[in-house]
Amino acid sequence: NGYLPLVEELKIPIVEFSGQRYKTVGDEFDHLLLSKEVMNADVVINLPKVKSHVQITLTMGVKNLFGCVPGKMKAWWHMEAGKDADRFGQMLVETARTISPNLTILDGILGHEGNGPSGGEPRELGLLAASADVFALDRAIVAVLQVDPDRIPTVRMARRLGLCPELEAIEFPLSRPEELAIEDWKWPDKMMPIDFGAPRVVKSTFKHLYVRFIKEPMAAYTGK
């Protein structure tokens, strides 16, 4: 995503997340396992890109905060909640609400359309958006892309939970969505299931354990 050279230049440490259970506000999920490093931070700045996604249609600010779920818990959520797009979307919304980032800056200078995130094509949009309200930001971007907000699980569930303001209630100090409207944004050709099967999760878990407890210690011991 282009951040690594800057991180290295400024000598900013990259931290491995470790999990801790945090109580949520919502009724559906009593607790969520989230990065304690993020939850204990003085300030959380969320830096998503705008990308089409074959599982949840579009990723923006709310979905990006799923990266604050540590380790294999992300795969577990795909398996546990992935059979229901609304439940998975609500889990992402509750994650974002619990983390409550101080600022979200969305990079739409170069977007990713089509069959993302692994497929698809880059598309120059020339768009940069920022807000202290991650739900308002996502709602605005959906309007820029001229898509029904209920088509996006995270936006649909945020609206249902009363967290996502309507456009009329959002203040736009520079440009309104209709002035920035993107024509003919390419959506995924075919949606894929959100859920991960148990064999995939088990295989991924064993691979993670092998790398962490066998491969990396052996490499450190041999100096390779």
Instruction: Band the pLDDT of 81: cuts 50, 70, 90.
Output: low
User: What is the pLDDT at residue 201?
Assistant: 46
Q: Is 192 left (phi over 0), alpha (psi -120 to 50) or beta?
A: beta
The Cα–Cα gap between 173 and 171 comes to 6
Instruction: Estimate the share of the chain in helix, then strand, then coil, as percent rounded to the nearest 5.
Output: 45, 20, 40
Enumerate residues 6+ apart whose C-beta is below 8 A from 36.
17, 18, 19, 20
pLDDT of residue 37: 95
Half-sphere exposure of 206 (CA within 13 A, CB side): 5
What is the pLDDT averaged over residues 168-177? Answer: 96
* Residue 217 pLDDT greater than 60, yes or no: no
pLDDT of residue 154: 97
Which residues partner with 21 through β-bridges? Answer: 33
Q: What is the pLDDT of residue 131?
A: 98
Provide CB contacts within 8 A for 182, sequence distance 6+: 125, 127, 144, 145, 146
Per-residue model confidence (pLDDT) at position 206: 54
- pLDDT tens figures, 5-62: 999 999 999 888 888 888 887 777 778 889 999 999 999 999 999 999 999 999 999 9
Report residue 92 CA to chain centroid gap: 8
pLDDT of residue 207: 56
pLDDT higher for 61 or 211? 61
